[in-house]
Amino acid sequence: MSELREIHHFIGGRWTPSKAGETVEAVSPATGKVLASIAEGEREDARLAIAAARKGHEALAALSRWDRARMCARIADEIDKRRDRLAKTLAEEQGKPLHTEAYGEIDAAASGFREAGELIKWMEGEFIPVETPGKRVISYRQPRGVYAVVTPWNFPINIPVEYLAPCLAAGNGTVWVPAPSTAICAAELMACIVEADLPPGAINLVFGPGPVVGDEIVGNAGTDGIGFTGSPQTGAAIANRGAGKPMLLELGGNGPVMVLDDADLDRAADAAAFGCFFNAGQVCAASGRILATRKTHEALADRLRGIAEGHVVGDPLATGTTMGPLNNAAVAAKIDEHIADGLKSGARLVTGGKRLPDLGSPLFYAPTVIDNVAPDAALNTAETFGPVAPIVVCESEEDMIRVANAGSHGLAASVFTKDLAKAFLFSEAIQAGLVNVNSPTCYWELHIPFGGASGKNSGLGRIGGKHTLREVTEIKTITFDIN
């Protein structure tokens, strides 16, 4: 029997076990197999990482932007070299299909480092005209200091890159706490970063429970900024603990897909299904609910059923698999609750609606379509985060705007119509940070601004390309008297 792999923190340029010596097991969601032993960090581990990140920040800030850009490029090259290993780890530990989804996430991570390195080189300042004679004023961007970064399990390779790459490019030291259920993915990404010859402490990795190590890094006075992707509930707790620090929070979504009566139903169904079933629905910008009128909802449900039943659910490493297991038991339990609530409220189960334990794990879930969901059902008002396509029947096209905006989320949305005027009208009326016309709610590219609408619980700030770099830097203004 082979010895279980041990994974440690990475602090101050070294792989190191937890101070307390505690470990936890990483388990495959598809098989239940124990994959590795993970260091279980405590507050002292997080504090050591913060101190190391301060030194790392000082070393990074002393380098030119071109030097830091070359570091980002080296990390991207290493990700490319380890592409197969990273993708397999992602499929095994997170559960997404290797061939249809995992490789794409790895490629996006490499692009994220390359783009951050290129963009920082061209982030310009200003020469500001002023009224006072003999005065010259300039402003430019500089790093904030040490960033606390806490990331989720649904995209455990690429979402961390959305923060780590801009922080590195900008010159911030970073302490990164990943989700415990995808710790191996984090370690594999960190191994790529290690090969890029960064200053010790530039990026530090600490494993452990969010309420312990995550709480320490966001609340500790030694960190100067916060980056977090996760639930609105955790985001609110982080905002409270880190009050006064600049924050970039990408929180939950429950993206409405608004299918107007003139829409191409085949195109709308394909896009909605992709938004509902991609990564088994475990996406912040997933298509959380589909809004249609009585004229089209049954035809839409029929098309969605065909797509759902065409999915191959199974082993994420198998060639033909198009949907793997859910990542954890809490997500599966929430899906059970939301479906039961929807049916109790009078919805019609079109297909799915159950777990598939015969596939080897209780975390496999059938792609599900539910029609005629009540507006007050959890499937419409809350983020389900699973492979469910709930159709909410609205009394009119105008009523869709009311239903779409009634919830507490405001991250991403879609509008399907052939009418350009309606496309603009509905896009501007929806309270969401991103609205995609005639494409899935989860369409996004790395440089596009992405974040929640004001007044909703979907976050603060914008990730994406130059927008993230603006968030993780601050403006320094200098005035000169030339008299």
Catalytic residues: 250, 284
From CA 13, how far away is CA 206, in angstroms rounded?
12
- Phi, psi (deg, nearest 5) at residue 244: 100, -15
In terms of Cα–Cα distance, which of 163, 54, 158 is closest to 111? 158
In terms of Cα–Cα distance, which of 226, 269, 275 is closest to 253? 275
Q: Are 143 and 472 in contact (CB under 8 A)?
A: yes
Residue 288 host element (H or E) = strand 287-293
Kindly state the tokens that stand for 126: 């200003």
From CA 148, how far away is CA 216, in angstroms rounded?
9
From CA 366, how far away is CA 323, in angstroms rounded?
9
Q: Are 27 and 326 in contact (CB under 8 A)?
A: no
In terms of Cα–Cα distance, which of 459, 360, 336 is closest to 409? 459
From CA 457, how far away is CA 476, in angstroms rounded?
31
From CA 119, how far away is CA 36, in angstroms rounded?
37
From CA 305, how far away is CA 299, in angstroms rounded?
10
From CA 15, how far away is CA 45, in angstroms rounded?
12
From CA 253, how far away is CA 175, in angstroms rounded?
26
Half-sphere exposure at residue 89, Cβ-oriented, CA atoms within 13 angstroms: 23
How far from 379 is each of 250, 384, 396, CA to CA, in Å? Answer: 21, 6, 20
Cross-strand pairs, 147: 174, 225
Q: Are 74 and 43 in contact (CB under 8 A)?
A: no
Q: Are 153 and 327 in contact (CB under 8 A)?
A: yes
Kindly state the tokens that stand for 133: 């004679």
Buried b (16+ CB within 10 A) or exposed e, 125-144: eeeeeeeeeeeeeeeebebb
In terms of Cα–Cα distance, which of 192, 174, 185 is closest to 110? 192
In terms of Cα–Cα distance, which of 437, 184, 128 is closest to 327? 184
**Cα dihedral: 424, 428, 431, 433 (round 10):** 80
Kindly state the tokens that stand for 431: 């309270």
